[in-house]
Structure 1
Amino acid sequence: MTGRLYGVGVGPGDPELVTLKAARLIRDADVVAYHSGTEGRSIARTIVADLISPDATEELLIYPVTTGRTEHPLGYYGAIEDFYDESAERLGKHLDAGRTVVVLAEGDPLFYSSYSYLHDRLADRYPCDIVPGVTSVSAASAAVARPISRHEDTFTVLSGTMAVPELARRLADGGGAAIMKLGRTFAGVREALRQAGRLEDAWYVERASTGRERRLPVSEVDADAVPYFSMVLVPGPDLRADAAQRARTVLPEPVVVTNGRLLVVGLGPGPDRWVTPEVTAALAEVDHVVGYGPYLDRVPQRPGLQRHASGNTVEVDRASFALDLARRGMRVAVVSGGDAGVFGMASAVYEAVVANESFAEVTVEVLPGVTAAQAVAARAGAPLGGDYAVLSLSDRLKPWELVEQRLHAIGAGDLVLAIYNPASRSRRDQVARMKLIMLEHRAPETPVVVGKQVGRDGEELIITTLDDLDPETIDMSCLLIVGSSQTRLTAAGGVWTSRSHP
């Protein structure tokens, strides 16, 4: 019979924060294993040194490298993978011999812990139990004695190794946050907090719960003296208390300006290089950005910028919110993917203006962007070189019967067809129905371009024919271009449509 593996959390540093269950298992263990840096000193072992039996076998797992260079042919990650494989093999021999193996983990075994990599390699081969531990986040929160989240508030754990713009964007979304993995990353973390407007609320905690604990405002920290075992905490707002205070406060009527202005901007289909200089300049001037969450994520954060994210099917509500900000004198931009005027937010904004006469004084300015059809066409060659039509296959805002009517008209008119919103999780048959309609008007060998995630990670471009198009491979990340009778393939595989028609 094999032994049993335990991943045991020993807490953030204070021996009195070790749980009773963890203490019992450590005392009874046949083998106690723990990690250390290249110097061979284990913080986890130090925490529970008085609990380890003198009869227990101790396995010190020393990392071959923590930072810096390595001679391993596959670099740092290759060296680390080999280390975990070798460590798992060492512990596996004890387990095969029927011994009980306890692997110590600072904090919690499955929260940013070295144990988790051993767990991946051993838990499916041997009986395994996890003993949770007090995390460093909990210890740091106790150190600053400030609630980090309440009620419906969100709490996010972030890594200091993230790029500054991405970290700032996530911090700007509000809610409580903990930022780990500091040390050399601290200066960038502080800059991200500044850009997100949250520097004044942020606290720094070093070696929480130990005799060397330090805590002070992030703005007062010497960036050159920050150790790895430190954390930044940003308490979240007390949403209910804020709401109650607002309810008790009699606010003056908002000042409504007569020259309010709302920008509606297109961010292009993906990469930053496809955002126009005009849009970049506009976003640098506004105080509020409003949009669908994933699109809003693409707007760089900076000090003073307030972000207002919402879901994908509330376009008019989103537009009304932005218009209301603008009529109160705020500098506001609504963001949209691709071009805001092509199945984007521009139409929703005008719809909201018509529906509410109080928005009539707001000037709406639409700034163009690169469309998905342009991006896919450019990747393929020039399939939009002749007359073409643009159609959305979604029937969320129009009946499918109308979509079919328009497909027949486009087919009869021999227009190239660019298709947006071809399919979703709930719309799985519409591409197949489009294909059948177009085959009534087009030859089976008509070229079809399928662009998936164009300009983004996972980009894929497929050149096929109308007859060979597989509807099951199409989802919302795709844009389709169905050629006309004048669409051709080049010898190199490009797709183009003649500007003239015989």
Structure 2
Amino acid sequence: MEQSATGRLYGVGLGPGDPSLMTVRAVEVIAAADVIAYHSARHGRSIARSIAAAHLRADHIEEALVYPVTTESTDHPGGYRGALDDFYEEAAARLAAHLDAGRTVAVLAEGDPLFYGSYQHMHKRLAHRYPTEVIPGVTSVSAAAARLGEPLVEAEEVLTILPGTLPEEELAARLAATDSAVVMKLGRTFGKVRGALERAGRLDEARYVERATMKGERTGSLADVDPESVPYFSVAVLPSRVAPLTGGPKPASSEDPGRGEVVVVGTGPAGPLWLTPETRGALAAADDLVGYTTYVDRVPHRPGQRRHGSDNRVESERAEFALELAKRGRR
């Protein structure tokens, strides 16, 4: 007797929340699946299921994968991580039973399945055992930039994506050293993230996006947000520093006498790999670079930033020039 073929596993990205942002491929896979699986908290409500609800059928077998814990408080002998590992193993075993029976299983995931998604824990346990396809989805990062209506990164700018669960000192160092950034997983971490942005000197640039594309969406300046009102599904955004061509916020490089300053930084002995996070942050925030040409040339080029290299025998003239730029509001 021939052994029946195993089923196929799909990780289905649903996008940031608005069902109309699901891809055609995601809808096709859901329609063809035998089993629809989705993660939820203990209250039983699943955001992923609600996004895909219009495409679910009465004859779909549904597997609700309910997290046993949603905070780090647990009496599990292995602690929070142990409780989650056991849950992922049990959830994977439930899906494997369907796959072994020849059923097609679609695991629904908000955003993109492999971007901070619960699906990835199923993928790591099952993809090497069964035919698997991952359907990419629009991430909350892209949705947040779209809802703000501001470019996220341009030209040679660097985008850094951070979980808000990092220590405040680590967040501050990374935020100071990058061009653009998105900080995920706010909620209870909001106060710490706000503090890190302030320490990095970037609070004034920071934008806030809550429930992008979903009911209850809110956007605005992060500095104005009440920490008690922030849910988990919210992000902090540092948009592109490249000045807009028309309209929009006042460019960061506008000459405002009240914001000018001179910052003296050391660039280390041998280029970008030797820069400290504080130096990277100061260089990224600068409108103008003034210095010995050999040293200025070691600094990566940034769109809109002016470079003023000169001979190493004109120290006093360089200092005077830098002070004059600062008087005009340049950094």
Is the TM-score greater than 0.5?
yes
Match of 2:117 among 113, 131, 145: 113
Q: 1:297 to 1:82 in 2, by over 3 A?
A: farther
Q: Which residue of 2 aligns with 1:36?
A: 40
How far off its partner does 1:297 sit?
A: 3.4
Q: Which residue of 2 aligns with 1:135?
A: 139
Once residues 138 and 74 of structure 2 are traced to their aligned partners in structure 1, the CA distance between those partners, rounded to angstroms, is 33
Once residues 100 and 189 of structure 2 are traced to their aligned partners in structure 1, the CA distance between those partners, rounded to angstroms, is 42
Q: Read off the aligned partner of 1:318 and give its amino acid letter.
A: Y
- Does 1:90 pair with 2:94? yes
Instruction: List per-residue Cα deviations over 1:198-237 (Å, max 9, x = no partner).
Output: 2112111110101210111101100111100001111111
Q: Which residue of 2 aligns with 1:200?
A: 204
Match of 1:228 among 232, 244, 256: 232
Q: Is the 8 A contact 1:3 1:95 kept in 2?
A: yes
Match of 1:358 among 314, 318, 325: 314
> CA RMSD of the aligned region, Å?
3.0
Q: Which residue of 2 aligns with 1:156?
A: 160
SS, match of residue 314 in structure 2:
helix
Q: 1:288 to 1:38 in 2, by over 3 A?
A: farther
Mean alpha-carbon deviation: is it higher for 173-182 or for 3-12?
A: 173-182
Q: Is the 8 A contact 2:176 2:277 kept in 1?
A: no
Q: Is the 8 A contact 1:153 1:239 kept in 2?
A: no
Q: 1:361 to 1:15 in 2, by over 3 A?
A: closer
| Alignment of structure 1 residues 433-452 onto 2, 5 Å | none
Once residues 210 and 244 of structure 2 are traced to their aligned partners in structure 1, the CA distance between those partners, rounded to angstroms, is 31
- The one of the two structures with greater contact order (alpha-carbon pairs below 8 A, sep at least 6) is 2
Q: Which residue of 2 aligns with 1:11?
A: 15
Q: TM-score, normalised by structure 2?
A: 0.78
Match of 2:276 among 257, 272, 297: 297
Note the residue ranges of structure 1 that are not aligned, 5 or more in a row.
242-248, 250-285, 310-314, 323-352, 364-502
Once residues 234 and 243 of structure 2 are traced to their aligned partners in structure 1, the CA distance between those partners, rounded to angstroms, is 28
- Does 1:63 pair with 2:40? no
Match of 1:178 among 137, 158, 182: 182
Once residues 70 and 114 of structure 2 are traced to their aligned partners in structure 1, the CA distance between those partners, rounded to angstroms, is 20
SS, match of residue 288 in structure 1:
coil
Q: Which residue of 2 aligns with 1:24?
A: 28
How far off its partner does 1:308 sit?
A: 6.9
Q: 1:288 to 1:65 in 2, by over 3 A?
A: farther
Q: Is the 8 A contact 1:28 1:53 kept in 2?
A: no
How far off its partner does 1:74 sit?
A: 1.1
Once residues 43 and 73 of structure 1 are traced to their aligned partners in structure 2, the CA distance between those partners, rounded to angstroms, is 30
| Alignment of structure 1 residues 64-79 onto 2, 5 Å | 64-79=68-83
Q: Is the 8 A contact 2:209 2:218 kept in 1?
A: yes
Match of 1:144 among 133, 148, 172: 148
Once residues 21 and 316 of structure 2 are traced to their aligned partners in structure 1, the CA distance between those partners, rounded to angstroms, is 62
- Does 1:317 pair with 2:321? no
Q: Which residue of 2 aligns with 1:52?
A: 56
Identity of aligned residues (%): 51
SS, match of residue 267 in structure 2:
strand
How far off its partner does 1:33 sit?
A: 0.2
Once residues 7 and 86 of structure 1 are traced to their aligned partners in structure 2, the CA distance between those partners, rounded to angstroms, is 18
Q: Which residue of 1 aligns with 2:169?
A: 165
Q: 1:320 to 1:87 in 2, by over 3 A?
A: closer
SS, match of residue 34 in structure 1:
strand
Q: Which residue of 1 aligns with 2:282?
A: 306
How far off its partner does 1:307 sit?
A: 4.2
Once residues 46 and 297 of structure 2 are traced to their aligned partners in structure 1, the CA distance between those partners, rounded to angstroms, is 57
Q: Read off the aligned partner of 2:78 and give its amino acid letter.
A: L
Q: Is the 8 A contact 2:36 2:106 kept in 1?
A: yes
- Does 1:190 pair with 2:194? yes
Once residues 220 and 235 of structure 1 are traced to their aligned partners in structure 2, the CA distance between those partners, rounded to angstroms, is 17
Q: Which residue of 2 aligns with 1:288?
A: 264
Q: Is the 8 A contact 2:184 2:235 kept in 1?
A: yes
How far off its partner does 1:358 sit?
A: 1.9
Q: Read off the aligned partner of 1:181 and give its amino acid letter.
A: K
Q: Read off the aligned partner of 2:164 and give its amino acid letter.
A: G
Once residues 95 and 40 of structure 2 are traced to their aligned partners in structure 1, the CA distance between those partners, rounded to angstroms, is 16
Match of 2:127 among 123, 127, 133: 123
SS, match of residue 104 in structure 1:
strand
Q: Is the 8 A contact 2:185 2:232 kept in 1?
A: yes
Q: Is the 8 A contact 1:289 1:308 kept in 2?
A: no
Larger radius of gyration: 1
Once residues 13 and 194 of structure 1 are traced to their aligned partners in structure 2, the CA distance between those partners, rounded to angstroms, is 30
How far off its partner does 1:168 sit?
A: 1.6
How far off its partner does 1:182 sit?
A: 0.4
Q: Read off the aligned partner of 1:306 and give its amino acid letter.
A: A
SS, match of residue 48 in structure 1:
helix
Once residues 154 and 30 of structure 1 are traced to their aligned partners in structure 2, the CA distance between those partners, rounded to angstroms, is 42
Q: 1:165 to 1:295 in 2, by over 3 A?
A: farther
Q: Which residue of 2 aligns with 1:246?
A: none
Between Structure 1 and Structure 2, the one with more strand by share is 1
Q: Which residue of 1 aligns with 2:324?
A: none
Note the residue ranges of structure 2 that are not aligned, 5 or more in a row.
246-253, 255-261, 286-291, 300-309, 320-331
